[in-house]
Amino acid sequence: MEESLNDAQRARLPTLYEVLNQQTAAPLDLWSFYTYLSQYPNAIVYLDFWTDVMAYLRLCKDYVKGIRESVLDIHLTDTPNLADMGDVNDSVKRESVSSAMLLEALMNDGYLDYNDSKRVSQFLKGETDSPRLSQLLNDWKQMNNDQTDFNDFVDGLVQEKVSKDMKPKLTIKQLISSAQDIVKTYLLSQEESDRFLYEIPQYLREDTIRLVMQERRHDPEVFEPIQDIVYQFLEMDCFPRFLGCVALHNLHDEIVLFAPKTPNPFYGKTSSPFSHWTTASRIAVGLAWWLAGLWIGYTLIFMGYARGIRVVCIVPFFLGSYYLVSGVYLVDILYAFSGVTQTLVSKRKIDDVELNKMSTHRSSSLHSRHDVPWWLIVFGGRSRLCKINHPFVNSIMIRRAAWCLILVLIITGILTAIFAAVPSHKLQ
């Protein structure tokens, strides 16, 4: 993944758009963002909605792609030739030619360009701004006394003329059903869905429900107004906090997830306090080492040992300072220089609990232990460690770790100098 990042991405933090389109590397990938938002039940619904709408857009593109392939099949294998039609009735000849010309016009005017989201929506809405295509469609309808909608007409025409093996796997009915499912899940009623989308203007909600449920609109543009609001919420409220949490720190308390609907005996359990209570456990261990250093220092002073021997208290003071600074700044120095960071959820919890749609965005590299040094197990295990694959995040971690290391050395030096410089006094 690191090789796929361009030079601009390597020199800065990613944007929300890049994260949502899976153009970033761990720990700033879509999986990490989804995991971060999963601790906030209302916020995760916004990301679910965005993901479902983008999946629906891909579904619409697949539908148009299927229509395009079917039209090509018709054009290659079933192009009518008036000379070869012989004694066929004139009206049948005209209908066949008109149908072929209409399908060819769809291709030539770019209405079946499935890579263009605007064209896909335009095709599904039945908007034909091409005069030639509009005229052909009107002629066909007059010839057949047919008032069928544009999409139903194309769908039926393709289903009728294309060979069985080349028929599109998707139909208009499936697209309409998928669009209505999104409305029922996020917009229709908060009593009937636990993923109801709050904080959406009522007029937008009602307008979208009307267009999809009553007018049976099924183009992706019908969701764009709400999608814009969702994107703004994620960009302005959630994403900055996510960057501040994941890009600036490599220590994280294991988050509490709200995704499971059924209790699980393993849910919430952890094998190490360094995993679940990262900050508190490091501060507690740091204070314990400081107390050990103070005890050793005072003991050596009142036992009359020389200053050269009393310097041994540098070890507990260094370890205590290391853990305290790491716990306060949420930056583990060894983690940073090893190029690893803690994830927000352990691999065990992910494996034990069904986490809604998380598996869809899961990064295979996020929980891989192959790149994590084995000796880091002494700092709480490797189940929550992953390799930092984003160069800019890695450089931030190293700079912060260097500052923390300087702070640890200064504190250790001051405490050691104090206890080494105090005159000894042997108690009788």
187 vs 265, which has greater pLDDT?
A: 187
Confidence of residue 190 (pLDDT cuts 50, 70, 90): confident
Name the nearest CA neighbour of 313 among 426, 161, 416, 195.
Answer: 416
Average the pLDDT over 208-230 and give the result. 91
Whole-number Å distance between alpha carbons of 387 and 390: 9
**How many other CB atoms sit within 10 Å of the CB of residue 241?**
13
pLDDT, position 378: 60
Report in angstroms the alpha-carbon separations of 30 from 19, 23, 36, 234, 409. Answer: 5, 9, 10, 13, 37
Give residue for tokens 């066949």.
Answer: 96
Confidence of residue 193 (pLDDT cuts 50, 70, 90): confident
Element (H, E) at 341: strand 340-342
In the 8-state DSSP scheme, what is residue 345? S
pTM for this predicted structure = 0.78
Digit-coded pLDDT (tens) for 252-294: 888 766 544 434 433 444 456 666 678 888 999 999 999 999 9
- At residue 112, does pLDDT exceed 70? yes
| Residues whose CB is less than 8 angstroms from the CB of residue 247 and which lie 6 or more positions away in sequence, other chains included | 13, 27, 28, 393, 396
Confidence of residue 204 (pLDDT cuts 50, 70, 90): very high
Average the pLDDT over 198-203 and give the result. 89
pLDDT, position 120: 80
Digit-coded pLDDT (tens) for 323-367: 999 999 999 999 999 999 988 886 555 544 444 454 545 444 444
Token representation of residue 422: 């105090």
Average the pLDDT over 42-71 and give the result. 87
Average the pLDDT over 4-26 and give the result. 82
Of 66-80, 113-127, 284-298, 345-359, highest mean pLDDT: 284-298
Name the nearest CA neighbour of 307 among 419, 410, 425, 413.
Answer: 419
Token representation of residue 299: 């003991």
Q: How many residues does the chain have?
A: 428
Can you tell me whether residue 113 is helix, strand or coil?
A: coil
With 0-12 CB in 10 A as exposed, 13-18 as middle and 19+ as buried, what is 225? middle
Name the nearest CA neighbour of 249 among 39, 33, 27.
Answer: 27
Digit-coded pLDDT (tens) for 30-41: 989 998 998 888
Whole-number Å distance between alpha carbons of 91 and 136: 15
Digit-coded pLDDT (tens) for 138-150: 666 666 555 556 6
Can you tell me whether residue 152 is helix, strand or coil?
A: helix
- At residue 76, does pLDDT exceed 90? no
Name the nearest CA neighbour of 37 among 303, 230, 280.
Answer: 230
- At residue 43, does pLDDT exceed 70? yes
pLDDT, position 208: 93
Whole-number Å distance between alpha carbons of 187 and 338: 46
- At residue 214, does pLDDT exceed 70? yes
Average the pLDDT over 56-64 and give the result. 88
CB 100 within 8 A of CB 161: no
**How many other CB atoms sit within 10 Å of the CB of residue 234?**
20
Name the nearest CA neighbour of 401 among 331, 324, 328.
Answer: 331
pLDDT, position 243: 94
Whole-number Å distance between alpha carbons of 248 and 241: 11
pLDDT, position 304: 78
- At residue 169, does pLDDT exceed 80? no
Whole-number Å distance between alpha carbons of 50 and 16: 12
